[in-house]
């Protein structure tokens, strides 16, 4: 009887965990698209492509989780979005080989330059600093 109860409990917990990990179809599509682009950009092998997809699906699921904060608490939204991007980028950089990392770093430099230019343009237009932060985080 105890074994039956234990197995039933184990099955129930497994079912709850699996259903909690269901992927958002929109996040899945974005993750596939981004993985394809990054696989070409970095010349990823099959194993790296699988890891990249996992990183991207996690990133887009996390973005969907914090999306409701955009209108409620913009400061928290910006902090969480930056944390999501930083975490994803750190995971990507760890996954890449030494030969692939210069491409990654160059893309990061290019993104920072585009963000700096956009921030200058928005400041020149008199946009509030919090709105600039929001625009920059959504640029990624």
In a domain, 111, yes or no: yes
Assign 22 a pLDDT band (cuts: 50, 70, 90).
low
Q: Is residue 11 part of a domain?
A: no
- Taking residues 19-39, report their average pLDDT: 82
In a domain, 107, yes or no: yes
Local confidence band at 64 (pLDDT 50, 70, 90 cut-offs): very high
Residue 32 lies in a domain: yes
pLDDT at 4: 45
Q: Reply yes or no on whether the pLDDT at 49 is more than 80.
A: yes
Lowest mean pLDDT among 2-11, 46-55, 82-91: 2-11
Domain-located, residue 91: yes
Determine the structural domain holding residue 103 and report its residue range.
Answer: 24-139
Contact 27, 57 (CB under 8 A): yes
Give the number of domains in the chain: 1
Residue 58 is assigned to a structural domain of this protein: yes
Nearest to 55 by CA among 67, 42, 72: 42
Q: Residue 103 falls within a domain, yes or no?
A: yes
- Residue 39 forms part of a structural domain: yes
Neighbours of 70 (CB within 10 A): 15
Contact 84, 105 (CB under 8 A): no
Query: What is the distance between the alpha carbons of residues 44 and 118, in angstroms, rounded to a whole number?
Result: 31
pLDDT band of residue 19 (cuts 50, 70, 90) is very low
């Amino acid at each position: 009887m105890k074994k039956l109860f234990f197995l039933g409990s184990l099955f129930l917990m497994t079912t709850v965990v699996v259903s909690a990990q269901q992927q958002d179809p929109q996040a899945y599509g974005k993750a596939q698209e981004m993985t394809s682009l990054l696989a070409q950009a970095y010349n990823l092998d099959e194993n790296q492509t699988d890891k990249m997809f996992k990183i991207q699906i996690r990133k887009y699921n996390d973005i969907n989780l914090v999306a409701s904060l955009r209108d409620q608490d913009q400061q928290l939204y910006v902090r969480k979005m930056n944390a999501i991007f930083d975490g994803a980028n750190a995971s990507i950089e760890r996954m890449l080989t030494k030969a692939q990392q210069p491409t990654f770093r160059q893309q990061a430099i290019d993104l920072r330059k585009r963000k700096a230019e956009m921030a200058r343009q928005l400041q020149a237009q008199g946009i509030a600093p919090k709105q600039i932060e929001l625009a920059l985080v959504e640029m990624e």
